[in-house]
Amino acid sequence: MIDGVRPKECTYCWIAEDSTKDENTFSDRIKKSSYDWSAALVDKIVADPHADINPSFIELSFNNTCNMKCSYCSPTYSSKWAEEVKQHGGYPTSSNFNGIDVSKLVKQRDYNPYIEAFWKWWPELSKDLKVLRITGGEPLLSKNTFDLIDMLIDDPKSDLELRINTNLSVPNELIDKFIDKMQRVRLAKKRVFTSCEAYGEKAEYIRFGLNYQKWHENCEKILRSLPDCSLQIMSAYNALCTTSFDDFIKDLLSFKGRNNFYVDVAFVTDPYHQSIFILDESFDRFFKDHIETFERHGFSAPETNNVKRIYDVYKNRNSHPAADVKRGRKDFVKFIDEHDARRGTDFFTTFPEMEKFYIDCMNRMIGE
């Protein structure tokens, strides 16, 4: 970066920064560089760049065990995806979407040397840790998640923030067990992160295995049962959620103003065939509706600016190479067809408003 090179793994932030000159819209690399959990270590690192420093932020995944297979996820993060890929292989897109060798994934097992190493490291690590984020897979399907919360109950860390990513779609007994333990743990801050970005059956298509009504009820249950814990909805904005995102946000309005409830909207860049870069101008009105909804219902400036950033990125889609967009639209058709064949879903019944876009993509593909 010092030499003006843009590493490809930083594409998400470059796209955001290139999409607009609005000073209120900025990328994650700028936002996350300002977090305070690392501030205390800056002087020490500057004084000794080779110092052996315990991390102050850890994101931990015990395994990929998950009861869902979201359309843009992968076998690396979902055992359900791994099962599908093992049976059917990758999707017939230009990139062979998710066509990886699942036999090389770290599997759920009674003894895992990586987990064993973490438990040995914990007494030293926890001394300086400020933020611990547990992700997955689905963390509530791992006994290690509950073991770790039990350790924090027995040995409270008054300056530690615990963050849990969960789809809130596990069996009721696990939700109740999680709430019980979170009520008893005493920490500086507790935050639950869950994900959704579409409404009803559209959400269930995108996040295969989701029961939207159950998810919504469990969000309410978390807010009601854990008043000292914030709830954050992480929306992975993608091509398929565009037409119902507005209905989804309106369905969350009953949560506003409670327990530091927050909606964080990011955009999908990979897989490209599910990104907003493949959409055409007919979707413009949906993005404008999103912004109006956020502004009309009093969402915070950061929440609203994230939605405006999505629109800026969409408007700037023509800066993408035409060949990439063309390939992305072809892959969109191939993915949808294969998705419906494998999972018994019906794209046209679920997304009737996107039928014309699908047909346009298919006709371009056939005509070439």
Structure tokens at 209: 């295995």
Q: Looking at the predicted structure, is the pLDDT value of residue 70 above 80?
A: yes
Model pLDDT, residue 254: 93
When pLDDT is averaged across residues 69-88 and rounded to a whole number, the result is: 95
When pLDDT is averaged across residues 111-123 and rounded to a whole number, the result is: 90
Residue 28: which pLDDT band, with cuts at 50, 70 and 90?
confident
Model pLDDT, residue 352: 98
**Residue 93 DSSP code:** S
In angstroms, the CA 95 to CA 98 distance is 8
| Closest CA relative to residue 192, chosen from 181, 200, 206, 202 | 181
Q: What percent of the chain has pLDDT over 70?
A: 95
The answer to whether 160 and 151 are in contact (CB under 8 A) is no
Model pLDDT, residue 107: 62
Backbone angles phi, psi at 133, to 5 degrees: -115, 125
Q: 230-261 burial, b if ≥16 CB within 10 A, otherwise e?
A: bbbbebbbbbbbbbbbbebbebbeebeeebeb
Higher pLDDT, 163 or 20: 163
At 175-208, the pLDDT tens digits run 999 999 999 999 999 999 999 999 999 999 999 9
When pLDDT is averaged across residues 91-116 and rounded to a whole number, the result is: 84
Model pLDDT, residue 36: 72
Tokens 């999972």 — which residue? 343
Structure tokens at 22: 């609005």
Q: Looking at the predicted structure, is the pLDDT value of residue 110 above 70?
A: no
Q: Looking at the predicted structure, is the pLDDT value of residue 108 above 60?
A: no
Model pLDDT, residue 330: 96
Q: Looking at the predicted structure, is the pLDDT value of residue 44 above 90?
A: no
Q: Which domains does the chain carry?
A: 57-320 (3.80.30.10)
In angstroms, the CA 290 to CA 248 distance is 10
Residue 3: which pLDDT band, with cuts at 50, 70 and 90?
confident
What are the beta bridge partners of residue 189? 161
In angstroms, the CA 127 to CA 130 distance is 9
What are the beta bridge partners of residue 157? 187
Least confident of 24-38, 146-160, 192-206: 24-38
When pLDDT is averaged across residues 63-80 and rounded to a whole number, the result is: 95
CA distances from residue 244 to 55, 314, 354, 358 in whole angstroms, order as listed: 40, 16, 11, 17
Higher pLDDT, 8 or 284: 284
At 232-252, the pLDDT tens digits run 999 999 999 999 999 999 999
In angstroms, the CA 291 to CA 289 distance is 6
Q: Looking at the predicted structure, is the pLDDT value of residue 81 above 60?
A: yes
Q: Looking at the predicted structure, is the pLDDT value of residue 30 above 80?
A: no
When pLDDT is averaged across residues 345-360 and rounded to a whole number, the result is: 97
Model pLDDT, residue 214: 98
Model pLDDT, residue 43: 81
CA 251 to chain centroid, in Å, comes to: 19
Backbone angles phi, psi at 360, to 5 degrees: -60, -45
Model pLDDT, residue 117: 94
Residue 167: which pLDDT band, with cuts at 50, 70 and 90?
very high
| Closest CA relative to residue 297, chosen from 261, 339, 350 | 261
